[in-house]
Amino acid sequence: MAGPSGEHVPGRMNRDLGRAAETALSPPIFLSSVYRCDDPAQAAAMLSGESDGYVYQRDRHPNGDLLAAQICELHQADWAVVTGSGMAALSAAVLATVNAGQHVVVSSQLYGKSTHLLTQHAARVGIETSVVDTFDLAAVRESIRPSTRLIVVETLTNPVLRVAPLEELAELARHARVELLVDNTFASPVLCRPLQWQANLVMESLSKVMNGHSDVMLGALCGRGNRLAAMRDVVSSWGLACSPFDAWLGSRGLQTVSLRVERASQNALRIAKHLQQHAAVSRVEYPGLATHVDFNRTQRLFNRGENGELLAGTMVAFELSDGDAATRFIRAGQEIPFCPSLGEVSTTLSHPASTSHRALSAAQRRELGIGDGMIRLSVGTESCERICELMDRMLVAT
């Protein structure tokens, strides 16, 4: 396959590799940054998107296309683009839909970096935003201007796990002729497919539970209708594309996402109920508990598992007496790693007041229901008994 000096010899090599690629059970990784073209006409047709095929990695590559096809299937979407991170997917959504001088309605409970992007960076390029409590539909309606193009919400908020009123927001958006963009990262399509509830655009950070192994940064944006060429153009032109190796890892992660999320959701419900019984825990937030403010909505919008049980998610938040108790809890149990991310195959925990929500004042955190003693669990697929046992041990230290 290689010449005497080690250079690639095309022709025979490509035929052999082609056969290997077709028969390999695990898909190959196409690291090539560029592809050979037959002639100028073919190159021009592929570069303009008139004909299918690969020319330059930033535009398209086979591993990205494979991952995009998996996303389409999971979300029942007509098109999907894969990006180098969840933030790149959000950037792609905004850049594709909003111009300078136009306006975006931003949920007051978005991931902090998303709020930062939409309020600070978007403002620098002339995009205006209103930060609104998107659970207050009248407030959303009032905030819409003639220049509004987009409403941005999360399916499940961090860390108190409110469930967005997707049907009502989609209806409101349709009436106002604006688009509803839903960040579905905390839910994943295993729990909820916002396109089914008439959202226009759905984004995921694949760096979390979708990949599930804390070893890639990836994002995805998907939707219905005929927008693939326009979205690919935005991703390529703004340089938001993902690497083939990350896409390959992401594709492998997606093969088990349903299994992992189903199992972790079952664990999360049992852990939430277990924590409710514990004297050191003053409050538990989990949308699968009848005590949760959005329990009825969760039952309507979220999917069911193989045995018909409600899949209410892999995240649980609970409150200890204060920040010192939270610190003692975290220090007592290094078997459950304290890391400010989520979606790993095994259980991890976070402390919103010192990580994801540290930029807010104590008063703003209180308004969102986030005390200094709040712990957020990202529940994994281990034995539930083992997690409860560890939690009990850690709670003794508080």
Binding site for ligand PLP (CB under 6 A): 85-87, 111, 114, 154, 183, 185-186, 205, 207, 217, 219
d(CA 209, CA 228): 25
No. of H helices and E strands in the chain? Answer: 15, 11
Minimal distance in Å, beta carbon 325 to ligand PLP?
Answer: 25
Which residue, 219 or 373, has its beta carbon nearer to ligand PLP? 219
SS3 149: strand
Triad 206, 113, 265: Cα angle to 5°: 45
Percentages (nearest 5) of helix, strand, coil residues in the chain? 40, 15, 45
Q: Which is nearer to ligand PLP, 276 or 354 (CB)?
A: 354
**Nearest approach, Cβ of 208 to ligand PLP (angstroms)?**
6
Provide the phi-psi class of 238: left if phi over 0, else alpha when psi is between -120 and 50, else beta: alpha
Q: Which two tokens stand for residue 182?
A: 């839903």
Question: And the tokens for 42?
Answer: 């073919």
Q: What is the smallest separation between the CB atom of 22 and ligand PLP, expressed in angstroms?
A: 32
Least spacing, CB of residue 297 vs ligand PLP, in Å:
18
Q: What separation in angstroms does the CA of 372 have from each of 233, 236, 317, 327?
A: 44, 42, 12, 10
> Measured from the CB atom, is 315 or 320 closer to ligand PLP?
315
Residue closer to ligand PLP by CB (options 90, 311) is 90
Q: Which is nearer to ligand PLP, 157 or 327 (CB)?
A: 157
Ranked by CB distance to ligand PLP, the top (closest) residue is 86
Task: Give least dist CB 183 to ligand PLP, A.
Answer: 5
